[in-house]
Homo-oligomer: A and B are copies of this chain.
Amino acid sequence: MRYTPPSHLWEGARGLGLRVATEGNISMTKQIIERAADAPHQTILARTRTTELAAHVGERVRMQGWLHARRRLGALTFLILRDGWGTAQIVAQSEAELAPLTEAQAGVESVITVEGIAVASEQAPGGVELHEARIEVITPIQEAPPVTLSKREVKASLTTLLDHAVVANRHPTRRALLRLGAGVMAGFRATLMARGFTEIQTPKIVASATEGGANVFPVDYFDRTAYLAQSPQFYKQIMVGVYERVFEVGPVFRAEPHDTTRHLNEYVSLDAEQGFITDHFDVMATLRETIAGIIETLREGYAPELALLDVKLPSVPAEIPHIHIADAQELIFQRYGADVRGKPDLSPQDERWLGEWALAEHGSDFLYVTGYPTHHRAFYTYPDPVRPEFTNSFDLLFRGLELVSGGQRLHRYEDYLAALERRGLPLEPFAWYFDAFKYGMPPHGGFAIGLERLLTQLTGAPTIKLATLFPRDINRLAP
């Protein structure tokens, strides 16, 4: 017996919110025909996004979204509809137009459909507004949101914003800032893919603490204890042995018991690593291209978000100025009178001074500081061949704040053994990692950009916790 099931049941108005059953022979079809019979056989307009409204002046359009704001001015009521991309103004001239909202008790944030005529209006935001509105309530709110979303500024404490992030993230400034994160990721990937980098995804559950130290989260992994990866460092180095050039965008986890404006316990790391370099200057050249690519991606694709947040994007010099840490410390001593010479790292004040100097001297928002002392960088850092007390490492400062760290790594097995011995570190927990260097690894290096830190510094957000959707800190696991 040959059985022919229903196929292509829905034809015609797909995507317009209406479907017509055209054939079929069993229960499912019956159900569909019943539904089709319920629905009025009318033409349903394709949906217009708020950002497309200006292209439809004079036409009847159908929009959907959230009732963002409602304001009465004399005989007129102004509604703002917010959808996933922007907002549009609706002007209601009669109570009848508003009746569906009243009947459903649909306050702001209710989900609605509005049909109306797009009318050019100089007063309207974007130069166009909707008249003769026919409103339909899709989902009325259950209660008023705990954060007011319709004001230009968010008027709520940080705690309120974070506690109610599920709805506070709808605020136009919050969602603009967070959407810039998508642009940063897209720019990062596009720049590196265009340069022959391969994207990888490496394990986040690992057998031992990657970078050493105590700031790891233990995981109960069946009958063993494992850890959350502090970085993809070891794996991205190993993958240089496979693809030469790799990048990864993924979460990293740091069990630092802080609750500050600069720390997150889980954040997104933009990692890159490349082989066949001469030294860290090749990595710095790649990073310069990457930062420029990110800025360009934001400039081209995220103009509304940048405008809303009043972000002035930096220009990236064709060559970012660089200074060795010893020279930087000498400069600080001579220019600012603070004797920080010989210290193992720069203080935040040192970085601010250097940022000020880079802007004054080179007209640059960016500055590379190179050559951090060996005992202050991770064991895998490549020493300066001439002055081995320093390393082939760098930090990128942006407007006087450290934004990115990177450097050249050891690539010879015997150098790893010597580095471990010098520091009194055991081989065993990472024998699999060191193994890779037995089988031929090229000179290589890379960098890691903290996504949220970059967003914080670009936008001037008061805390890094506002640069991520749902932050994790020592006191916060939800939402």
Task: State the A residues within 8 Å of B (CB).
Answer: 1, 3, 5-10, 14-15, 17-19, 26-28, 31, 34-35, 47, 49, 64-67, 83-85, 109-111, 138-143, 145, 164, 166-167, 169-170, 175, 178-179, 181-182, 185-186, 189, 193, 196, 198-207, 217-222, 224, 226, 228, 235, 238-239, 241-245, 249-251, 253, 255, 257, 265-266, 268, 275-276, 278, 281-282, 285, 319, 321-324, 326-328, 330-331, 334-335, 361-362, 371, 384-387, 411-414, 432-433, 435-443, 451, 468-470, 472, 474, 477-479
Contact of A362 among B7, B432, B442 (CB under 8 A): B7
Closest-by-CB residue of B relative to A30 is B386
- A179 to nearest B CB, angstroms? 6
CA distance A478 to B468 in the complex (A): 30
CA distance A198 to B301 in the complex (A): 12
- Measured between beta carbons, the chain B residues less than 8 angstroms from A285 are 14-15
A440 in contact with B244 given A196-B84, A202-B470 (CB within 8 Å): no
Judging by beta carbons under 8 Å apart, are A241 and B479 in contact? no
Known: A14-B281, A26-B330. 12 other contacts (CB 8 A): A8-B321, A35-B385, A83-B244, A84-B196, A84-B242, A142-B437, A170-B241, A182-B199, A201-B469, A204-B204, A206-B478, A207-B478
A111 in contact with B477 given A327-B28, A371-B28, A435-B167 (CB within 8 Å): no
A219 in contact with B217 given A266-B203, A331-B5, A433-B166 (CB within 8 Å): yes
A35 in contact with B436 given A111-B442, A217-B220 (CB within 8 Å): no
Judging by beta carbons under 8 Å apart, are A477 and B28 in contact? no
Q: Interface of chain A, helix or strand or loop or mixed?
A: mixed
Judging by beta carbons under 8 Å apart, are A438 and B28 in contact? no
Contact of A439 among B3, B5, B167, B222 (CB under 8 A): B167
CA distance A387 to B34 in the complex (A): 12
CA distance A331 to B19 in the complex (A): 25
Judging by beta carbons under 8 Å apart, are B251 and A479 in contact? no
Judging by beta carbons under 8 Å apart, are A219 and B218 in contact? yes
Closest-by-CB residue of B relative to A137 is B440
- Measured between beta carbons, the chain B residues less than 8 angstroms from A226 are 477
- Measured between beta carbons, the chain B residues less than 8 angstroms from A441 are 111, 139
Judging by beta carbons under 8 Å apart, are B235 and A436 in contact? no
Judging by beta carbons under 8 Å apart, are A478 and B432 in contact? yes
CA distance A6 to B361 in the complex (A): 12
Judging by beta carbons under 8 Å apart, are B199 and A334 in contact? no
Judging by beta carbons under 8 Å apart, are B202 and A142 in contact? no
Judging by beta carbons under 8 Å apart, are B166 and A179 in contact? no
* 9 shortest interchain CB distances as A-B pairs: A84-B244, A432-B479, A142-B438, A166-B436, A182-B199, A28-B324, A207-B477, A109-B440, A3-B334
Between A and B, 22 residue pairs with Cβ closer than 8 Å are: A7-B321, A7-B322, A15-B282, A27-B326, A28-B326, A28-B327, A31-B384, A64-B442, A67-B440, A139-B412, A139-B443, A170-B241, A201-B468, A203-B469, A204-B266, A205-B228, A217-B220, A219-B220, A249-B249, A250-B250, A433-B479, A435-B479
